[in-house]
Structure formats: structure tokens, C-alpha cells
Structure 1
Amino acid sequence: MAESILEHLKSEPSWAFFLITFAFFSLLTLFLSFLRWVYVTFLRPGKNLKKYGSWALITGPTDGIGKAFAFQLADKGLNLVLVGRNPDKLNEVLEAIKSKSRSIQIETVVMDFAGDLNDGVSRIKEVIQGLDIGVLINNAGISYPYARFLHEVDDKLLNDLIKVNVEGITKVTQAVLPGMVARKRGAIVNIGSGSATVIPSDPLYSVYSATKAYIDQFSRCLYVEYKKSGIDVQCQAPLYVATKMVRFRRSSFFVPSPDGYARAGLRWIGYEPRCTPYWTHSILWALVHSLPEWIVDWWRLKSCLKTRKTELSKI
């Protein structure tokens, strides 16, 4: 049977043989890519995060993804350093985690990422001195209150976006890295955004998207810089997650809850330098990349203008 098929192919014109061969290898590549996606998404085991160190530091842990990561890391047996601007909310999260994981040690650092960064980073350095910080989750970030054209972005919002999303993540990472380098182990997770890595543009959120593009490139460079030092650096680029930062407050098939996202996110730590951990987000990523950019740009602009109209009607 196989010999007759081979003989038949040989009798075809060379261009037809080339096309058939090309189609076969294309299908084979697609099939292998699908098998890899199934493995890394559903079957690949997460790493033992305690091997990186006994402590994890999380910024923005009082709500949304950061809060979910804090609870998930505590469940894994890691002690926590929680860094946020609201002392009351920090204590609420601390008490809630303690009620479920009594053996966990928790330190808190009050830091306003839109305020005096140098003072806040100094307090972080004081608290983590002598602690075995193995995992850093850079989650603190802000977005627009609603979709705006660039000329409508006021100076305060513009400065806060850059200060919190760019300068803050850079300085916190710089503060934690020396200990990881000395111990020759560690994992750094920077929460980016699909607006910078999945879709080709994010109109009416241009500065926010640009700050997240910085996080993506920053993470990739650190991944290369520190890989030989035993430090895994990763940018996680989620699409919509049901948090206060987005208009979708309820979870759905394509919009996971913070808990659902954090569970998926933990399983990817220590692997690829860039990822979209939640499985339905990765399907959307593949779909977006299969379309011409102009179609995605058109759809995104239309969606943002609709959101803007809705939000402005509430003001």
C-alpha cells in the first residue's frame, strides 16, 4: 500500500510533489504544535516553588490577581511579603490568609507606587533583609478609568501610569535581585497584558498598553541576563480577568476569575519567558494571530469606542 502511494507520487509533476510534501509537513507541524499546547496547558506539572526559596514577595496583593496569587502561594507553603498602599486592606488579606494557613509567616510593607518610590523600596529592602525571597510577583499596576484618546489623558494619570507600571516594577525587581543572585536561585513573574503582546494595538489605552510592552521586553531581557544565575524570569500576559480593572466583573468562559487565573499562572512559573497561562486566553491568542492585523485593529477600535461611550454616559 505504502509502496503504491510512493510510486504514484513519483509519477506526479515535480511541482505537485513539492506541494504535497509541503502540505504534509505543514499539517504535521500543526499537529505537533497542538500536542505541545495540550501538554503544557493541561498535563505539564508545575514546579516546586519552594525550591526557589521559602518566601514570596507580591506587589498589589489586596485585590484581584495579586490577592489570588497570595492565597495560592500560601497554599503552596510559602511565607509572604505583601506590598501595597492601603495598610487596612493589607491587614485584611493577612488575617484572611492566616485563618487558612496558620503556619505561614507574613510581613507587610506599606508602599504607594504612585508616591515616593525610593522610600517605599527602602522599606522593602529593610523587611526582606535576611529573608529567603525565592518568588517575586510584580502585580501592582494601574490602567485608565475609561477609554481615552491620548490628548485627553491628564498629566497626573500619564505620570502615574509610567511611575507605577514602569518605574515601580523596575525598582522593586532591582531591590529583590541581589539576594536571588547571591543564592543562585529565584523566580520573577511580571504581570504584563495581552494588550501589549496578544493584540497588535490597543487604541484609546495607548499609554497603558505601552507600559505593558515595556514589562514584556524588560522581562525578556532579564530572562536572558539571569538564566545562568539560576533565576527564571517570566512575563505573564493575561487577557481579560474578572477584576476591578476591567469592565467584566463576572467570570465566564473567556474571562476567568482571579483565582482561576492564579492557579493557571502558578503552573507556568519557571518555564517560558512569555506566556498566557489561562487556556482559553491562549485560544484567543492563536485566533488573533491568524487574522490580518488591520481586522484586529478595526475590531479593537470599535470595541474601545463603544466602551468609551458607555463609560462617559455614566459620568
Structure 2
Amino acid sequence: MMGGADTLLRQEPWFVSLAVLGALYTAAVVLRLLSHLALLLRRPRDLRRRYGAWAVVTGPTSGIGQSMALELARLGLNLVLVGRDPAKLQDISETISKTRSVQTKTVVFDLALVATPRGDEAVRRLREAVEGLDVGVLVNNAGVAKPCALYLHEVDVEAWVRMMRVNLCALTEVTAAVLPGMVQRGRGAVVNIGSGSSEAIPSFPLYTIYAASKRYVAQFSRSLYVEYRSKGIDVQCQVSPRTEENQPTLRRSDASTYYPRKKNPTKKIAPS
């Protein structure tokens, strides 16, 4: 062993430097592989034990929100389902009750009515619904996007006001309604559904207001985590890529200015 070290020391300085760098790189790769292996072998976290027995999910009747609700139920959490359509809320509640041994509660709340008398009443009902419950997880999933690509001056004022109310104001108000219980119990998790339109790409033309609203969600999540981590509350922003539910519709002739169409590779091999 000592002979090998002596041999290494007798080499040229550049050779010794390369050998040391190689050893450090190899060690870093091994450590990274071991960390990934540890994650694979680690048992799934018990969310009930870590955070609490109940979860609140907004927009749980379709898409990401529905998937989150079903998964949380599979993990054994009881659910408070918040949405604007009573019939759809009842459907998802019955589906969960038939397949999982968990409790469900529903709160009818059109989040676009936040900061109005009807919205204030809905917030009151939400606070009453979670009062006394061990709510450990909040999933702020509900969001609004324009149905098609538009320049800012083409957007109907009512449409973008609705978007801002749901994507910003409602998310903030629902969080404020659920946080006091988490603070009191000293544990909890807030999961906000963001968008790749604000994080993964430098700009999102023709969807400017939507992308800006989702940027708020990302920064809100970062700052909220710093505020509440000392109180035992985790906060994260899940940045989702395009899904069938939220995929942009570029039905306008000038959209290719910002989103050029991909060339058809089959043209290169098509017979003449």
C-alpha cells in the first residue's frame, strides 16, 4: 500500500493532479448512486403520521386535482373536497367512499367569487368544515386558464379578472383559512400546483396573464416555506408540464410566430 503511494508521489505533478481529480470524481459518482439507491429502498412516508389525518383538495373533480385526491385517499387520508359543482363533488366523493375506507366532506365553493359577499360566505363554510379536523395536507390545485391563445388587448376583462381571482386570490385565501390549524398543531404540508409556463420556459406569449399568475404561485410557495418551516410546515410548488387538461390551444393563424410548427420528418422519406 505504501509502495503504491510512493510510486504515485514520484510521478509528474500533472499526473498526480489528474489522479486526484479522477478519484474525487469517482467518489462523487459513487455517493450519488448510493443516495439514489437509498431513495429507492426507503419506505414511502406515512403522510397521516407525518402531517395529519385529513387533506383539503381544491378542484378535485378532474385532472391533476382528481388524481391527487384519489392518491391521498389511497394513502389513507380523509378528504375535504372543495369545488364549484355540487354534482361533480358528490360523484368524486362517492367514488372515493366506495373504493377506500376514508371519510370525505364536500364544500361547494366557486373560487372565482373570492372577495365578494358570496365568496366570503364560502370561505366561512370552509373554515367551519376544517374546524376541529386534523388537517395535515392542503393541495391548492384549482386554477383557470384561457381557452385559447390571445394577445393581452384581446382578452376579455371579465375573463382575466376571473383568472386572477382563482389563481391568486383564492389560492391565498384558502391557504390562510387552513394554516391556523397547522400552526396550532405544529405540522402540515401545503402543495401548490404551479406550471411549467412560469418556471421551465423564459416566456409564454399569448398566455401572458396565465403565466404571470403561475409565477405568483411559485414565489408565494417559496416565501411561505421560509415563513412557516420553523413551525413544522412544509410548502412546495409542483410544476406540472402540459397535460391533456391544460394543454394550450393555439387556434390562430399568427400563433406560429411564437410557437413554430415542427417539420414533418416523414417528408424526408416519402416517395416522390
Matched, 1:107 2:125: no
Partner of 1:81: 80
CA distance in 1, matches of 2:56, 2:76: 13
Distance 1:30 1:239, change over 3 A: farther
1:193–1:212 CA contact under 8 A, matched in 2: yes
Cα distance in 1 for partners of 2:73, 2:239 equals 23
What's the RMSD between the two structures over aligned residues?
Answer: 3.0
**Kept in 2: contact 1:204–1:304 (CA 8 A):** no
**Amino acid across the alignment from 2:259:** C
How big is each residue's C-alpha offset from its partner over 1:31-87, in whole Å with a ceiling of 9 and x where there is no partner?
479648845875554321102111100000000011011111111111110000000
Indicate the residue corresponding to 2:70 in structure 1: 71
Please state whether the residue corresponding to 1:114 is helix, strand or coil.
helix
Q: What is the Cα deviation at residue 240 of structure 1?
A: 2.1
CA contact (8 A) 1:150 1:206 kept: yes
Percent identical across equivalent pairs?
44
The correspondence of residues 240-279 of structure 1 with structure 2, limited to 5 A, is 240-241=242-243, 243-246=244-247
Q: Report deviation, 1:180.
A: 0.4
- SS of 2:112 mapped into structure 1: coil
1:254 corresponding residue in structure 2: none
In the other structure, the counterpart of 1:205 is: 207
Report whether the alignment pairs 1:222 with 2:224.
Answer: yes
The two structures have a TM-score, normalised by structure 1, of: 0.70
Give the secondary structure class of the aligned counterpart of 1:200: coil
Q: Which residue of 2 aligns with 1:131?
A: 133
Aligned to 2:161: 159
Alignment deviations for residues 258-308 of structure 1 (CA, whole Å, 9 cap, x no partner): xxxxxxxxxxxxxxxxxxxxxxxxxxxxxxxxxxxxxxxxxx97663659x
Q: 1:8 to 1:69 in 2, by over 3 A?
A: same
Deviation string 1:94-116 (CA, Å, 9 cap, x unpaired) is 11111101x31111001111124
Residue 195 of structure 1 is matched in structure 2 by: 197
Deviation (angstroms), 1:151: 2.1
State how far apart, in whole Å, the 2-side matches of 1:171 and 1:162 are.
13
Paired with 1:176 and 1:98, the residues of 2 have a C-alpha distance of 23
1:10 and 2:18 correspond: no
Mapped contact 1:202–1:301 kept (Cα < 8 A): no
Runs of 4+ displaced beyond 3 Å: 1-9, 20-46, 300-307
Structure label with greater radius of gyration: 2
- Give the conservation status (yes or no) of the 8 Å contact 2:59–2:83: yes
Gaps of 5+ in 2: 250-254, 263-272
What is the rounded CA distance, in whole Å, between the counterparts of 2:104 and 2:183 in structure 1? 23
| Matched AA of 1:46 | P
For 1:15-94, list aligned pairs within 5 A. 31=29, 35=33, 38=36, 42-51=40-49, 52-94=51-93
**Partners of 2:111 and 2:212 in 1: how far apart?**
18
Structure 1: gaps spanning 5 or more residues: 249-299, 308-315
Aligned-pair CA distance for 1:173: 0.2
* Residue deviations 1:165-217 (CA, integer Å, cap 9, x gap): 01110000000000000011111101111121222222221111111111111
Q: 1:90 to 1:138 in 2, by over 3 A?
A: same
**Deviation of residue 154 (structure 1)?**
1.7
- The amino acid of 1:129's aligned partner reads E
Q: In 2, distance between residues paired with 1:224 and 1:32?
A: 32
- Partner SS state of residue 190, structure 2: strand
Aligned equivalents of 1:151, 1:29: Cα separation in 2: 56
SS in 2 for 1:235: strand
Aligned mates of 1:26, 1:161 — CA distance in 2: 51
